[in-house]
Amino acid sequence: MQLTSQKITQLLNQHQLLKDAPQGNNLLFEFLHYDSRQVRPDTLFVVKGAFKAEYLQGIAGVRALVTEKPLEWDGPQWIVTDSQKALAVLSMAYFDYPQKQLWIGAFTGTKGKTTAAYFAYYMLKAATGNKTALFSTVDRITGPTAQDRHKSDLTTPESYELFKDMRRAVDNGMTHLVMEVSSQAYLRNRVYGLDYQVGAFLNISPDHIGPNEHPTFEDYLAHKLMLFDHSKQVIVNAESDHLEQIMKRAQENHDHVYTYGAGGEFTYLSHESAIHESRFTVNACSLTEMEGDYRLNVPGDFNESNAMAALIMVALAGAKHGDMVQGLDQVVIPGRMLSLPIAGHGVTFVDYAHNYASMSALLSFAQDQYPEGKVIVVVGSPGNKGVSRRADFGKVISKLADEVYLTADDPQYEDPQAIAQAIAQHITNPHVKIHYQMDRIKAIHTAIDEAGPEDIVVVAGKGEDPYQKINGQDVPYIGDYAVVVAYQKQEAQ
C-alpha cells in the first residue's frame, strides 16, 4: 500500500479538493495517517481540526502534509478545501479501494440500526458461508475468527479506519459487509465517496441535537437522508415519522423504493412476543424468498419491524429463505434485550437503549410483559453530546416508569450529577420515585434490591460496554450485563 505525490495531486483534483500542491516533488509514501501517535517512516500526514505545527516536533517520519491551512513546517504541503474529505479520498486509495470487492448494505435511523444490522449479518453469514463482515456500534467483525472481532468506538468510524477494516475484511475472504451509518458519519464526512448496494432507512425522531452535534432536527434529518444519495437500492419504513419528506428524497434517484410495515409494499403478521423471542409471518410479496414464518431470537414486537428491513436487504443480496430463517433464529446481539430472572426480584433487562424512541419501545414492552409489577429504570445520559436526550429520558420515564435510578453514563467532561438533575427536571409525573446514585454499579444493585417478584428492572444505556468515558479517558467498566450476572449469581448462592 503506497501513495505517490502524483497520485495524491490527481485524486485531490478529481474531487475538487485541491487548492495548492507542492511543486517538483516525486515522493513515494509508504504510510498514511491523521494521528501523530501513529506516524511511521515515509508518512503522508493529514491534518485535522485545530492541529498545530508544534504537535509534530520530535516526531520522525512525516514527509508531507495534507492540510486546510498552510503550517509553519519545513516540508511539502497539499492545501485542500476539506481535510475530512481528503482523508476519505486518500484512505480508500491507500487501501486499494476495498469497497469495490464487497457487497455493502447500510442501515440508518434513530433507533434499531444495530439490531437490524445484526439481523442482516446473521442471515448473510448463513447465505455466504460465513463470509460476511459487520461494522456496528457494538462490534467490528472483519473475518471468521475471534481475533477478527473488536469492540467499536464509534457507530461509523473515521474514514481511515473504515477503509482499513474493509481491506482487512477483503483480505480475510469476506464478500459481503453490513454496516451502520450514523448522521455524524455524513456530518463529519467519514463516509465521503462511499456507495452501498442497499441502504435502509429505519425511522427518525429527535436525537443527536446539541452544541457538538446537529444544531437542529432538520439538520439531523437532512444528514440521515444522505444515505439515499449513495445507495443503488433503498428501503424505507412506511410507518416512519416525516414519511412524505423521506419518500420524496428517496424517489429522487430511485424508480423503486422498497417499503415495509403498515401501508407499505411488504407486510407481516405478528403472532407473539414473549420475554425471550417473538414470532411473525411475512405475507406474500414480490421477493418470494422472504415469504413464510420466522422465529426471532430477540424479544419485543418492535424488533419485528427491524427484522423486516433486514429481510428485504438480504433478499436483495440474493439470500434464500432457509438462510433467513436460520439467521433470525440464531441471532445474538451483545447488550440488546438481555434478560435475567432474579429470584425474589423479578426480571432485569439490560439494553443499549439510549434515546427517546428506543427507551419508549423498551419500557412499553416491559409494561406489557409485567402489567402487575413496577417498572424500575436505571439510566444516565452521556456528557458533551446528545443534550436533547436528557429531556427525552425525563419525558419517557414520566410516561412509562414507576421508579428511576439516575446514574452516570459516559459523563466525559460534565458532572454526572448535573446531567442526572437535568433529566429529573423533565420527570413531571409526581408518582415516579427519583433516586440519584452516580456509582453505576451501586445504582444497579440498589434497583434490583428494591424490586419485588413481579417487578421489572430496566438497565439502559451501556449494555456490555467495557468502559465509561470520563474526562477524555476510557475508564474500565465491567458492563451492565456483567453487573447483573454477578448479582444474580450472588443471590443464587
For residue range 435-444, what is the model confidence (pLDDT) as tens digits? Answer: 999 999 999 9
pLDDT at 216: 80
Q: Is 70 exceeded by the pLDDT of residue 353? A: yes
Q: How confident is residue 202, by pLDDT bands cut at 50, 70 and 90?
A: very high
Cβ contacts of residue 19 below 8 Å, gap of 6+? Answer: 79, 80, 81
Q: Is 476 helix (H, G, I), strand (E, B) or coil?
A: strand
Cβ atoms of residues 345 and 451 within 8 Å = yes
Within 10 angstroms of residue 444's Cβ, the number of other Cβ atoms is 23
**Bigger pLDDT: 336 vs 341:** 341
- pTM attached to this predicted model: 0.80
CA distances from 206 to 86, 115, 236, 310 (A): 30, 19, 18, 23
Burial group, residue 23, by CB count within 10 angstroms (0-12, 13-18, 19+)? exposed
Q: Got the DSSP string for 219-272? A: HHHHHHHHHHHTEEEEEEETT-TTHHHHHHHHHHS-S-EEEESTTSSB-EEEEE
Could you report the per-residue pLDDT of 285-320, keeping only the tens digit for each?
999 999 999 999 887 777 899 999 999 999 999 999
Among 186-190, 209-213, 215-219, 243-247, which range has the highest average pLDDT? Answer: 243-247
d(CA 59, CA 203): 46
Q: Is 60 exceeded by the pLDDT of residue 3? A: yes
| Choice among 174-183, 292-301, 453-462 with the minimum mean pLDDT | 292-301
Average pLDDT score, the chain: 91
Q: Is 90 exceeded by the pLDDT of residue 486? A: yes
Amino acid at 457: V
Could you report the per-residue pLDDT of 75-97, keeping only the tens digit for each?
899 999 999 999 999 999 999 99
Q: Is 60 exceeded by the pLDDT of residue 208? A: no
Written as nine digits, the cell of 424 is: 429529573
The owner of cell 500526514 is 45
Mean pLDDT throughout 30-58? Answer: 90
**Bigger pLDDT: 492 vs 211:** 492
pLDDT at 316: 98
Which H or E element spans position 322?
Answer: helix 321-330
pLDDT at 178: 98
* Lateral strand order in the sheet of 375-379: 338-341, 347-351, 456-460, 375-379, 403-406, 433-436
Could you report the per-residue pLDDT of 220-279, keeping only the tens digit for each?
888 899 999 999 999 999 999 899 999 999 999 999 999 999 999 999 999 877 666 789
Q: How confident is residue 206, by pLDDT bands cut at 50, 70 and 90?
A: low
In percent, how much of the chain has pLDDT > 90?
Answer: 69
Q: Got the DSSP string for 388-450? A: HHHHHHHHHHHHH-SEEEE--SS-BTS-HHHHHHHHHTT---TTSEEEE--SHHHHHHHHHHH
Mean pLDDT throughout 463-490? Answer: 90
**Bigger pLDDT: 244 vs 184:** 244
Within 10 angstroms of residue 146's Cβ, the number of other Cβ atoms is 7
CA 189 to chain centre: 16
Among 71-75, 99-103, 135-139, which range has the highest average pLDDT? Answer: 99-103
Q: How confident is residue 432, by pLDDT bands cut at 50, 70 and 90?
A: very high
Written as nine digits, the cell of 397 is: 420515564
Mean pLDDT throughout 187-191? Answer: 87
Q: Is 52 helix (H, G, I), strand (E, B) or coil?
A: coil
The packing angle between helices 302-316 and 321-330, to 10°, is 140
